[in-house]
Every structure is written in C-alpha cells, then in structure tokens.
C-alpha cells in the first residue's frame, strides 16, 4: 500500500539554512486549488500513511486546512489505522488549530524546534524562542499522543555543552519521537552566504561526531531506540511514512517540488510556482532500471539500524548480496565500519560517522542526490 506526501510551501519566515521550496507570501487558496486538482489524478488509490510537510503546513488558515483534508479523504481510500502526520512550527498552532487537525484525522504532529538555545535559534533565523518551542510541545501533547520533535546539531555558535542541554530539554518534554540531523550548509542559502563572507563559528567534524554519539547515548537511556541514522523513537512510534522511503516502498508526492516513487518510476514535480499553478505539475519522470533500484535500496537500508537483510535483498533482486559486494564488505568489515548481523550487514557506529564515504563505495554517483532528496529538515 502506498504512502502520500503533500508539500505545503508556505512559511511565516524562511530559515537561513533552508534550501527547500518555500515562500513567505503567495496565494494560498489558489495553491490549494491547484494541489487538489493534482490529487484528483490519484482517485481511488489506497494509502496507509499521509505526511503533510513543507514549508509549514500549519501556516495555512484553518479553512484551507479543512478543505485540503476533506479533499484527501474524498480522493483516496485511506486505511482505517493510517498514520497521518502534519509538520508544525512553534507560533503557528493554537488549541483551535490542533483540535481541527485532530478532528480531521491527523494523529501525529512533527514540531520543528531545532534548538533550545535562543542564541542558536537567532543565528539560523527561527521566529520562535526556546520557551515558545517548549510551550508548543506541551500544547500539542494535549491534543495528540504521537509527537515528534526535530533538532539540528552543529549549528553556528553551538557547543557540545549547549547541544547536550538541547537534547536534555527535548527528553524532558517526553515526545514520542525525536529526529536529530546535522546542519548542512547548502549553497545559495543565506546562512551559506554569511559563512562565505565571514566564516561562522560552526562545530568542527570531531565535535559534530561527539554531538551525535552523545545524543544517541542520552536518547537510548531515555527509552528512545535509534532505528535510523537520525531518528529515535519510543517502542512502536517509528515514523511509518518515512519508513516507506527507507524501505523503497511506493509513495505518491503531490505539490510543488514533491517526489514520487510509483511502480519503479520516480517522478519529480516542477519547482516553478507559475508552472504548478497552471497545472503543469511534472518536471521529470525516470523509469528506474535494476541498477538504480539496487543502489537506492542499499542507500536506504544502510541508513536503518537493522541494515541490509540478505534474504530481502535476494528476494527483491534475485542476487546474493555478499557475493555481489564481497570486496567492499570485506574491506569495511576489516576497518570496523560495517558489521555482520544475524540477518545481513549494517553500519557500525564508526561507519555511521563516515557513512557518505562508505555508501559511495557501493552506489556512487547517485548517492548525494538521493540522500538530499529524502533527508531534511
């Protein structure tokens, strides 16, 4: 069964590090009209996960949120126990909006916090304070029993100590899921341009690794299982929609700049708002060959803590994983970067630290494009 991703490109303010397609202004009503027209092409499709991301979906007025949700329900056949996630930022939700989302069927809220340091939040252009972020989490928990909290490490002016404080604060708020990504300075973003003109005080690679492993240690002690390189969940609270990406399952993407994977065909929507509003949704469509499918599977499976299952690989591709990649496996096992498991192979903690380099040995040159496409915030 497929998942559904919907992109809402509107934000109160665009963060300095963000290179996703998002806007602080635009005709939101016209965009929802165009989005609903695109969704009509999938009438009757069965789905068991919905993820509404952005941008900031909760920056939409309530009447447009209701219109979009009802259209989704009238268009798709949605499994009774479907996971329905909505991204939100502090200062964009109140009790009325959260009650509306819950009543419309949302059952998981993902809150973009990024840091609990006011100085760090200011440096990356966030519109909220640490106090407002904590208050938002507490408010969301009154209406939802499945809450994710996003954090970013290696921020400008961030120290190991301040990051530990952020993680500790996140744990104290007791969300069900925590995503923790490292900052990527993307070319063309305001933060990148600031760094080029006057280098920012960004943690070095060694400190960044310390942050990652300290967070992993703290979260494990607090009952959060690391099931993917950057994602930690309490038992049974893994993000089912994101697992579709990591398992290379089919999903429909709708909205400007959205991606889809359907029956071995990867589709990418236009990033041009005028084109999108005129109904010219598709930018590119590529039919994956067996090499593409294997590469994507390896990229995503190695991101998961369980790693590569030799049985699943054999069943999916009719190939023996160890035989096909014996030289890479032998070398990385010797270096302590990959380890054998009861089901196959996975990255070690040291392997996670240099995962880009390891994965490139298996699947380059598509690795960097694909990871950027599915990784966020």
**Mind listing the pLDDT tens digit for each residue in 72-119?**
999 999 999 999 999 999 999 999 999 999 999 999 999 999 999 999
Q: What pLDDT, in 10s, does the model give residues 133-146? A: 999 999 999 999 99
Cis peptide before 218 (omega within 30 of 0): no
CATH 3.20.20.70 region(s) of the chain? 2-244
As beta bridge partners, residue 149 has 111, 178
Q: Where along the chain do the CATH 1.10.10.920 domains lie?
A: 293-377
Considering the entire predicted model, what is its pTM? 0.93
DSSP codes of every residue in 98-139:
HHHHHHHT--EEEEEEE-S-HHHHHHTT-SS-HHHHHHHHHH
Which CATH class, in words, describes the domain spanning 2-244?
Answer: alpha beta
CATH architecture for the domain at 293-377: Orthogonal Bundle (1.10)
pLDDT band of residue 364 (cuts 50, 70, 90) is: low
For the segment 37-50, what is each residue's pLDDT rounded down to a tens digit? 999 999 999 999 99
Predicted local confidence at residue 103, as pLDDT? 98
Q: Is residue 296's pLDDT more than 50?
A: yes
Query: From CA 110, how far away is CA 85, in angstroms rounded?
Result: 7
């Amino acid at each position: 069964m497929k998942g559904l991703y919907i992109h809402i490109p509107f934000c109160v303010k665009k963060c300095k590090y963000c290179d996703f397609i998002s806007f602080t202004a635009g005709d939101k009503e016209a965009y929802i009209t165009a989005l609903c027209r695109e969704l009509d092409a999938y009438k009757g499709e069965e789905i068991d996960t919905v993820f509404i991301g952005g941008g900031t979906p909760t920056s939409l007025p309530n009447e447009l949120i209701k219109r979009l949700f009802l259209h989704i329900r009238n268009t798709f056949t949605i499994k009774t126990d479907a996971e329905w996630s909505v991204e939100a930022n502090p200062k964009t939700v109140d009790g009325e909006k959260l009650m509306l989302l819950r009543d419309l069927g949302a059952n998981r809220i993902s809150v973009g916090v990024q840091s609990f340091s006011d100085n760090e939040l200011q440096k990356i252009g966030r519109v909220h304070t640490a106090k407002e972020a904590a208050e938002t989490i507490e408010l969301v928990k009154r209406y939802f029993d499945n809450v994710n909290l996003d954090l970013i490490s290696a921020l400008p002016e961030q120290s190991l100590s301040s990051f530990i404080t952020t993680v500790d604060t996140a744990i104290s708020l007791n969300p069900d899921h925590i995503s923790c990504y490292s900052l990527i300075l993307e070319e063309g973003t305001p933060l990148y341009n600031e760094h080029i003109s006057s280098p920012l005080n960004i943690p070095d690679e060694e400190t960044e690794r310390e942050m990652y492993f300290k967070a992993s240690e703290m979260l494990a002690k607090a009952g959060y299982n690391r099931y993917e390189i950057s994602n930690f969940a309490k038992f049974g609270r893994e993000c089912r929609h994101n697992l579709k990406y990591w398992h290379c399952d089919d999903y429909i993407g709708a909205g400007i700049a959205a991606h889809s994977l359907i029956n071995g065909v990867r589709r990418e929507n236009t990033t041009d708002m005028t084109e999108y509003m005129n109904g010219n949704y598709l930018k590119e469509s590529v039919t994956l060959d067996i090499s593409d499918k294997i590469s994507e599977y390896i990229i995503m499976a190695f991101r998961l803590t369980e790693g590569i299952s030799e049985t699943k690989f054999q069943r999916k591709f009719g190939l023996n994983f160890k035989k096909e990649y014996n030289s890479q496996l032998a070398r990385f096992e010797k270096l302590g970067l990959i380890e054998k498991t009861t089901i196959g192979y996975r990255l070690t903690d040291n392997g996670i630290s240099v995962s880009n380099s390891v994965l490139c040995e298996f699947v380059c040159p598509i690795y960097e494009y694909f990871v950027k496409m599915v990784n966020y915030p």
